[in-house]
C-alpha cells in the first residue's frame, strides 16, 4: 500500500511499497496535491489545475504499477529546486532576482530571501540559515548570480561547499554556472582557485602591514607603563583597602579595574 510519511522537520517523503494492482485514485491524489505542477500518468497528462477532474475520470480505472515508475516518482520528489535572493536594502527590491528564479523553474513558495547588509556572512543571514536547514540531498539551490550566497568569494565558496557536502547542487542563472555541466564544474573549480588566491592576498597584506608598522617604530602588545606611577597608584589603592574600601572602589580611585589592581599587586609581591 502506498503511504505518505511526514516526519517532524522534514519534507514529505514516500514509502514506495504497494500491491502490484490497486486503484489509481490514491496515487493520483498524492501527485495532484503534492507536486504543484503538471504530471503524466500512463497515457494521460494533466496539469495540476485540472488534476481533480483527471482524478475523477480515472478513479475507477485499475492500473498496475512497477518498481521503476515508483522509483521515478520518489526520485522526482527528491530533486527539488530551491531559490535564494539577497538585496542590501528593502528599497532595492528582489523582483529581478525572483523573476529570474521563477523563469529557471523555481516556485515562488520555495524561494528564501534576505534583506541585509553585504557585511554579514552567509550563516549570519536568517534567510540563508533557513535554506541551509531546509535543503536536503538531491535538491538544487538556484541563485540569480553566484555572488548572492556570500559577502565575498571566500564566503561564497564556503557556502557552496557546505551545500555540496549535503548533496545539494548550486546553479547560478546569470553566470550560467551549473555543476551538472562540464563548464559549470570548471567555473566552480576556478572559484576555488580564486578563493585560495584571495586568502593568500589577505595574509600577505596583513603581514606587510605589520612589517611596515614595525619599521615605523610601532610597538605591538601592551603599551609600556611608568613603574613609579604604578607604585604610587598601588600605594593609594592599598591605603584605601586598609581603610575598609572594597577592592573595586579602591581600584576605581586610581582609574583601574579590580583585575588590574590584583595584577599589579601580584607583580609587586614577586
Catalytic annotation, pick one of 17, 37, 64, 88:
88
If one counts every other C-beta atom within 10 angstroms of the C-beta of residue 191, the result is 19
Classified as helix, coil or strand, 172 is strand
- CA 138-190-87 angle, 5° bins: 65
Q: What is the DSSP string of 62-123?
A: EEE--HHHHHHHHHHHH--EEEEEEESSTTT-SHHHHHHHHHTT--GGGEEEEE--TTS-GG
Q: CA 24 to CA 63: how far, in whole Å?
A: 6
Q: CA 95 to CA 32: how far, in whole Å?
A: 29
Question: Grid coordinates 572602589 are at which residue?
Answer: 249
Q: CA 80 to CA 106: how far, in whole Å?
A: 9
Q: CA 163 to CA 105: how far, in whole Å?
A: 20
10 Å CB burial of residue 175 (0-12, 13-18, 19+) is: middle
88 in catalytic set: yes
Left, alpha or beta for 93 (phi > 0: left; psi -120 to 50: alpha)?
left
If one counts every other C-beta atom within 10 angstroms of the C-beta of residue 41, the result is 18
Catalytic residue positions, numbered: 88
Amino acid at each position: 500500500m502506498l503511504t505518505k510519511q511526514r516526519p517532524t522537520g522534514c519534507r514529505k517523503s514516500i514509502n514506495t511499497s504497494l500491491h502490484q494492482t490497486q486503484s489509481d485514485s490514491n496515487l493520483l491524489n498524492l501527485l495532484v496535491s503534492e507536486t504543484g505542477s503538471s504530471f503524466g500518468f500512463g497515457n494521460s497528462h494533466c496539469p495540476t489545475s485540472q488534476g481533480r477532474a483527471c482524478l475523477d475520470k480515472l478513479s475507477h480505472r485499475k492500473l498496475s504499477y512497477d518498481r521503476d515508475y515508483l522509483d521515478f516518482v520518489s526520485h522526482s520528489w527528491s530533486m527539488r529546486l530551491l531559490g535564494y535572493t539577497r538585496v542590501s536594502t528593502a528599497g532595492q527590491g528582489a523582483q529581478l532576482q525572483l523573476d529570474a528564479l521563477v523563469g529557471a523553474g523555481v516556485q515562488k513558495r520555495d524561494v528564501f530571501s534576505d534583506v541585509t547588509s553585504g557585511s554579514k556572512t552567509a550563516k549570519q543571514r536568517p534567510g540563508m540559515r533557513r535554506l541551509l536547514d531546509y535543503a536536503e540531498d538531491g535538491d538544487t539551490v538556484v541563485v540569480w548570480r553566484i555572488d548572492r550566497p556570500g559577502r565575498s568569494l571566500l564566503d561564497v565558496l564556503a557556502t557552496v561547499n557546505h551545500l555540496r557536502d549535503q548533496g545539494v547542487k548550486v546553479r547560478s542563472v546569470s553566470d550560467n554556472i551549473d555543476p551538472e555541466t562540464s563548464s559549470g564544474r570548471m567555473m566552480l573549480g576556478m572559484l576555488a582557485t580564486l578563493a585560495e588566491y584571495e586568502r593568500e592576498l589577505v595574509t600577505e597584506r596583513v603581514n606587510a602591514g605589520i612589517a611596515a608598522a614595525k619599521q615605523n617604530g610601532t610597538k605591538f602588545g601592551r603599551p609600556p607603563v611608568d613603574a613609579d606611577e604604578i607604585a604610587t597608584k598601588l600605594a593609594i589603592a592599598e591605603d584605601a583597602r586598609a581603610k575598609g574600601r572594597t577592592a573595586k572602589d579602591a581600584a576605581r580611585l586610581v582609574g583601574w579595574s579590580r583585575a588590574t589592581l590584583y595584577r599589579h599587586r601580584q607583580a609587586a609581591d614577586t
